[in-house]
A and B are shown apart, each in its own frame.
Chain A
Amino acid sequence: MKGWLYLLPAILFLGAFMVYPLIDVFIYSFEEGYNFASQTYTGVGLYNYSYVLRDPYFLQALRNTLILVVVTVPLSTGLALLISAALSSIRALRSLYQTVYFLPYVTNTLAVGLVFMILFKKTPYTDGLVNLVIRWFGGESIDFIDGPYWAKMFVLCFYTIWTVMPFKILVLTSALASVDEVYYQAARVDGTSKLRTFGRITLPMISPTLFYLIITGFIGAFKAYSDAVALFGTNLNAAQMNTIVGYVYDMLYGDSGGYPSYASAAAILLFAIVLTITCINLLISRKHVHYS
């Protein structure tokens, strides 16, 4: 009995702000024509889902999110693996590098996003530093913030990778450090080349971690939002840079806001997509991940 007493605060908070909302969001998503002010609805059905799925803004957000996922997850994981492996092979300055690499983790996404914006932005007064570098190499200057779609998408991916790297590098470095030195010694005695050692020993040994990073990477990228806001402002639809989460929030509150039913339907669609992808990941991992 006493145990429940200790759990009570947690149960109250989780009940009120997690379990109840979870049930409620499903109900909302099936209530048609819900009116926020009067809290009434006209019917029950799948209309909200069909509306969302036909909404061009949602389809735009879905497309953006998918591109973001497909580009950033493999790139950031691969880059983090490369950097972690490099980091593990050195001794001098290692902790300095580690500290530097971790910095983006403790910075405010919105605040640093502003810095990226001014670095990439082209204004009447200045082309911005990035364009300067591009021109220096003989390229054509582009407005990455208000310019063509692919340029904006490039900045978004770039910034997303920049913000997710600290976590991946840190986790991979500690995974690499936990591989027993004995295996490397054994491989050396057997005359295994460094590359082969990495591929046949290191990778399988850290594969659970790598896989964990890929799964959380997928989930995180599907939920991208703050990065986009930081770069392109709150009106993401106008910038063609909205994400699914952004769509949910805009439906809830924003320029087109006040439609919790549509927001719920979109959120559940997102959850369904993430769940499916995660399950597929898990299935694939059965074959390739080595759990000791």
Chain B
Amino acid sequence: MMASDYTRLDRPPKARARLGKALVYLLLTFWALMVLFPFYWMILTSVKSYGAYNSEYIPMLYTLAPTLENYVEAFTAVPLADYLLNTLIFTVLTTALMMVVTVLAAFAFARLNFFGKQAAFVVFLSLMMIPSELVVITNYVTITNLDLRNTFTGLVLPSVTSVFYIYLLKEHFEQVPDDLYYAAKVDGTSDLKYLLKVMIPICKPTIVTIAILKVIECWNAYVWPRLVTDDERYFLVSNGIQAIRESGFGRENIPAMMAAVVSISMPLIALFLIFRKKIMAGVARGGTKG
């Protein structure tokens, strides 16, 4: 055996493991910074004064004179509050409607027996493959012809359907033991009451997860709202931010723009931090089942 082999053997394995660990943490921290930096930057910029920001040829990584004036500007110079309210209305309406449609359909597929169920389910499944880009064209024409542009009805209706969530919920409904259904039957429970009092409470975690995922989707909706609204009074946050960017505050007011971005992002980030486990589990499950 050569001397170098001995030295290699002598080197405590712990040192090598520690080096590996350090590299791993280095990588993880690097990516964490990549993710966090834009958030830091938007918050930082949003509290810099307009004057201070524009005088920094070399941007500063911190500020010593934080100000909230940009937030005042964001909420007064542009109807940011209206955008937020519109988005809230749109999100609540769409999610609520979708939940009703989804729960009823999933229940029918999971629990009820009726003629043509298998065929209907196959059709539903195949609809899962249809990209929204393909149907948005006709929907745009339909909504325009129905004179529903710049209305909440026009915004909400085509956004309601989600075949995937019906599928996901059906899978979960099916895991509820059959015996519970028969027990409820014997106890004189109607199908609807069974759905409301047994199925939904038992599957509440899944239902909440689906609702949250839909809320995220609605909050970030851009394409459809852009197509059917050109009246600022019906802008959602995505369209609002685009409008701010293009015609904005009358001048290129980056700090105020960032204040608007922070205001728009915060509700969802707060929702995420509250329901962190649920959301991540939901997305992971949705992902592996897709």
| 0/1 interface trace, chain A 202-232, chain B, CB 8 Å (1 if under) | 0000000100100010010001011001000
> Assuming A25-B135, A103-B35, A111-B237, is B112 touching A2 (CB within 8 A)?
yes
Q: Is the pair B102, A106 in contact by a Cβ cutoff of 8 Å?
A: no
Asked if residues A107 and B127 are in contact (CB atoms below 8 Å), the reply is no
Interface centre among B24, B114, B134 (most CB of A within 10 A): B134
Distance to closest chain A CB from B101 (angstroms) = 4
CA separation between A260 and B113, bound complex, in Å? 41
Contact of B238 with A by CB under 8 A:
yes
Partner of B139, one of A1, A21, A103, A248: A21
Residue B58 is within 8 A (CB to CB) of chain A in the complex: yes
Knowing A110-B242, A233-B246, say if A212 contacts B131 (CB, 8 Å): no
Whether B5 is near chain A, meaning CB under 8 Å from some CB there, is no
Q: Which of B237, B241, B279 has the most CB of A within 10 A?
A: B241
With contact pairs A9-B104, A90-B28, A108-B237 given, residues A249 and B227 touching in the complex (Cβ less than 8 Å): yes
**Complex Cα distance A85/B83, Å?**
41
Look across to chain A and name the residue whose beta carbon is closest to the beta carbon of B261.
Answer: A111
Closest CB-CB distance, B13 to chain A, in whole Å? 12
Is the C-beta of A280 less than 8 angstroms from some C-beta in chain B? no
A7-B32 contact given A17-B158, A125-B54, CB 8 Å threshold: no
Establish whether residues B31 and A83, one from each chain, have CB atoms under 8 Å apart when the complex forms. Answer: yes
Mark contacts of A1-30 with chain B using CB atoms, 8 A cut-off: 1 yes-contact digit, 0 otherwise.
Answer: 111101101100110111111101100100
Given contacts A7-B108, A17-B157, A100-B36, contact A109 B280 (CB under 8 A): no
Is B120 at the interface (CB under 8 A from chain A)? yes
| 0 or 1 for each of A248-292: is its CB under 8 Å from B? (1 = yes) | 110011000000100110011011001000000000000000000
Question: Please, how many angstroms separate the alpha-carbon atoms of A216 and B219 in the complex?
Answer: 22
Q: Cβ of B101 and Cβ of A170 under 8 Å apart? A: no
A70 at the interface (CB under 8 A from B): no
Check if B223 sits within 8 Å of A101, measured CB to CB.
no
Indicate if B38 sits at the interface (CB-CB under 8 A). Answer: yes
Asked if B280 contacts A102 (CB within 8 A), the reply is yes
Query: Given A162-B34, A212-B290: A105 and B161 within 8 A (CB)?
Result: no
- If A102-B272, A111-B261 touch, whether A268 touches B104 (CB-CB below 8 Å) is no
Verify A10–B104 contact, CB threshold 8 A: yes
Q: Does A201 contact B (CB under 8 A)?
A: no
- Contacting A at CB under 8 A, from B73-123, are 100-102, 104-105, 107-109, 112-117, 120
B32/A109 in contact, CB under 8 A: no
A97 to B31, CA, bound (A): 9
A155 on the B face (CB < 8 A)? no
**Residue pair B137, A101 in contact (C-beta under 8 Å):** no
CB distance from A115 to the nearest CB of B (A): 4
Q: How many A-B residue pairs have CB under 8 A?
A: 263
0/1 per residue, B157-197, Cβ < 8 Å to A? 11011010010000000000000000000000001000000
Within 8 A of A (CB), among B217-242: 219-220, 222-223, 226-227, 237-238, 241-242
**B219 interface neighbour in A20, A108, A234, Cβ under 8 Å:** A108
CA distance A223 to B264 in the complex (A): 24
Q: Is the CB of B133 within 8 A of A248?
A: yes
B105/A252 in contact, CB under 8 A: no
Q: Is the CB of B135 within 8 A of A90?
A: no
Q: Is B15's beta carbon under 8 Å from chain A? A: no
Q: Is the CB of B42 within 8 A of A115?
A: yes
Q: Which residue of B lies closest to A15 (CB)?
A: B161
- B133, A223: Cβ atoms closer than 8 Å: yes
Assuming the contacts A86-B27, A97-B32, A229-B242, asked whether A109 and B220 have C-beta atoms less than 8 A apart, the reply is: yes
Residues of B within 8 A of A3 (CB): 108, 112-114, 117
Residue numbers in A under 8 Å from B271 (CB-CB): 106
B62 at the interface (CB under 8 A from A): no
Contact A174–B288 (Cβ < 8 Å): yes
CB-CB < 8 A to A129: which residues of B?
Answer: 41, 59
Chain B residues closer than 8 Å to A249, beta-carbon distance: 136, 223, 226-227
* Bound Cα distance A14, B38 (Å): 38
**What is the CA–CA distance of A19 and B288 in the complex, to the nearest angstrom?**
26
Which among B135, B142, B260, B283 is the interface contact of A105 at CB below 8 angstroms? B283
Taking Cβ atoms with an 8 Å cutoff, the residues of A that contact B are 1-4, 6-7, 9-10, 13-14, 16-22, 24-25, 28, 36, 79, 82-83, 86-87, 89-90, 93, 97-112, 114-116, 118-119, 123, 125-129, 132, 162, 165, 167, 170-171, 173-175, 209, 212, 216, 219, 223, 225-226, 229, 233-234, 245, 248-249, 252-253, 260, 263-264, 267-268, 270-271, 274
Which 9 residue pairs across A and B have the least CB separation, nearest first? A3-B114, A21-B138, A21-B135, A6-B108, A10-B105, A3-B112, A171-B287, A24-B138, A106-B272
Given contacts A167-B283, A219-B131, 17 further A-B contacts (CB under 8 A): A2-B112, A6-B108, A18-B163, A20-B138, A22-B135, A90-B25, A90-B28, A97-B28, A102-B283, A110-B222, A110-B241, A112-B38, A114-B261, A115-B41, A171-B287, A216-B290, A226-B238
